[in-house]
Structure 1
Amino acid sequence: MKERIERLKKLTYIPQNEIAWLIEQAELAVKQREIIEENKRQQEVTIHQFRQAQKDIQQLSGDRKRYKQALEKIITNLNFAITVAQNELEGDVK
């Protein structure tokens, strides 16, 4: 391609088929630029979504930890209540 462009630069008259080729190359370059820009945009969207997902995971992990701690306290309290109830029942039986 470079050689063809250099040859065309040296010509004083450019044949019609060469002009058609130049136009085709320019159109391809425009399409490639549009594709690159769209890919960059999609990449930015993907990065944003990934970062948001990371934040959501961190938040859910924190929520999970808090829920687990709360549940452990409830279980401890229930075990204590069961022990107290059993002791009271044993005291009533004697």
Structure 2
Amino acid sequence: MKERIVRLKKLTYIPQNEIAWLIEQAELSVKQQEIIEENKRQQEVTVHQFRQAQKDIQHLSGESSRYKQALEKIITNLNFAITVAQNELEGDAE
């Protein structure tokens, strides 16, 4: 392709078939640029989605931690209530 371009630059008259080739190459270049721009746009969307997913994971991890702590408190309180109830039952049995 480079060789053909160099040869065309040297010509004072460009034949019709060479003009058609130049037009075709220009159209291909435009299509390639459009594809590159679409890929960049998709990459930006993907990066945004990834960052949002990271934030969501951090948020859910925090929620999970809070639920775990609350559940541990409930279990501790239930164990205490069970112990108290057992002591009362043992006291009533005597």
TMscore range, shorter length: over 0.9
Q: Which residue of 1 aligns with 2:41?
A: 41
User: Letter of the aligned partner of 1:19 in structure 2?
Assistant: I
Gaps of 5+ in 1: none
- What's the % identity of the aligned pairs? 89
Q: Which residue of 2 aligns with 1:19?
A: 19
Gaps of 5+ in 2: none
Q: Which residue of 2 aligns with 1:80?
A: 80
Runs of 4+ aligned structure 1 residues displaced above 2 Å come to none
Kindly state the Cα deviation for residue 68 of structure 1 after the two structures are TM-superposed.
Answer: 0.3
Q: Which residue of 1 aligns with 2:93?
A: 93
User: Letter of the aligned partner of 1:5 in structure 2?
Assistant: I
> With structure 2 as the length reference, what TM-score do the two structures score?
0.99
1:27-77 Cα deviation digits (max 9, x unpaired): 000000000000000000000000000000001001101100110000000
Count residues with an aligned counterpart. Answer: 94
> With structure 1 as the length reference, what TM-score do the two structures score?
0.99
User: Letter of the aligned partner of 1:89 in structure 2?
Assistant: L
Kindly state the Cα deviation for residue 11 of structure 1 after the two structures are TM-superposed.
Answer: 0.5
